[in-house]
Amino acid sequence: MKNNWENILKQKDSYIWEIPKEFRPGMRVNGRIYASEKLMKHIIKDQAPEQVVNVAFLPGIVGYSWQCLDIHWGYGFSIGGVAATRFDDGVISPGGVGFDINCGVRLIRSNLKFQDIKDKMPEIIEDLYRKIPSGVGSEGIIKLNSQEIKKVLSEGAQWAVKKGYGEKEDIAYTEENGRMTQANPDIISNKAIQRGLSQLGTLGSGNHFLEVQVIDQIYQPEIARQMGLEEGMITLLIHTGSRGFGHQVCTDHLSVMQKAVQRYNISLPDKQLACAPVISPEGEKYYQAMCCAANFAWANRQCIMHWAREVFSKIFHISSERLGLKLVYDVAHNIAKIEVHHYNGKSVKLCVHRKGATRAFPPQHPELPLKYKEIGQPVLIPGDMGRFSFCSVGTNKAMDETFGSTCHGAGRVMSRGEARREVKNRDIVEELRVEGILIKARSRATLAEEISAAYKDVSEVVDVMDKSGISKKVARMRPLGVIKG
């Protein structure tokens, strides 16, 4: 039976809504959703608040079962969810990370302006499409053997740079320096290894993309200048993750976690929240395997960036260095991290699940590169293929309220099936071309599923996070050309 969420949710201020833990016996913390009144209507329709309630049952959870307004129904956790559990006596849940482990976004700046590329856009999009494999089951240029892939899983983006796929500077501007050191390739299943052997350097399908953009609005000039961003600049945005490898890692551990729930007498309202204590053989092995998938994803985006640089160098007959193709930052969206946070007046070691959520650390945080110490961590928030993307920065308020987390995108309002029915007999490529956006995709079905109407307006989502003080918007990017699977 569906709940009447309009009567259950308690509005705390303009953008915060809470579900009190008294709503359902077994909830350990309140649920909290950041949303405007307008966007809350979409959230209620999706029934995703039910998953906010379910997550509040996790042993060791602290603070809130937290959701951004890009929330929509997912496996176990809704997309857009954050849950922090105590390291000592809390749990880790694959449902709080998702199947596409370290699906994330990487932003690249350039010295190019719109007038430099407007006549070359058809060639740029065609060459990017040929150079970077995309689509379901796509295979990359790099062919790994079982020994070499273990190096990728251990070293992440650092492996790619060592092999010549990028520059040392890229590592400094990648979350975790592109490598989670707790990765243990020796526990990865042969099936996962086989799925990853040929997929390094590929976009995949669904909402993954490579986008050529132009910055059309700057909100905070001083912060933008520190990032090397300015109005009229051409940027590239890469959105993809760990492909079939990460999916298999998640699948492999879900059955293990189902048994662990019984072994440790954990009571949950939804079996998709299957979990194990962070400090347990099952929890530790999942975390080590998840780190492997995260490293694969960082290496994947690093290779794609390298080939995108090659395409631009070839077309403009200038080195990528002279073109100014520099990495601004790379952030993960689907990941769990062991972090120390200030909670209830003391420093506490936590396992922070971010599923469809972006880390948003504030100025002076020790994990930030020196360049961003004064301004905070860059936060990259992609839109859909027909609307804007944004670059924001993390804030101290995010650390206080959301364990240093913010939204990751717009969030769906239509299922993929609904979207396909919505665009039946429409020419999406032509519609986007009229809007000044060139697109190449492996599948017409993907284009149908990814129409703008299938998503909330990312501008509204980012505005809420900006006005709530969780992440402050810095720049807006308008799409010029998109590669999709």
Of all residues in the chain, what percent carry a pLDDT higher than 90?
82
- Between CA 481 and CA 85 the distance in angstroms is 41
- Residues marked as catalytic: 408
Give the Cα-Cα-Cα angle 31, 37, 42 (nearest 5 degrees): 75
| Number of C-beta neighbours around residue 385 at 10 A | 24
On the question of pLDDT at 387 being above 60, the answer is yes
Specify the pLDDT at position 330. 98
Of 42, 35, 49, 37, the residue nearest 5 (C-alpha): 49
Pick the CATH number of 5-484 from 3.90.320.10, 3.90.1860.10, 3.40.50.170, 3.60.9.10: 3.90.1860.10
pLDDT in tens, 108-158: 999 999 999 999 999 999 999 999 988 777 778 898 999 999 999 999 999
- State the pLDDT confidence band at 40, using cuts at 50, 70 and 90: confident
Q: Residue type for 305, please?
A: M
Beta bridge partners of 326: 109
The domain ranges of the chain are 5-484
pTM above 0.85, yes or no: yes
On the question of pLDDT at 9 being above 60, the answer is yes
Contact predicate 391/328, CB 8 Å: yes
Q: Residue type for 254, please?
A: L
- Between CA 411 and CA 407 the distance in angstroms is 9
Of all residues in the chain, what percent carry a pLDDT higher than 70?
99
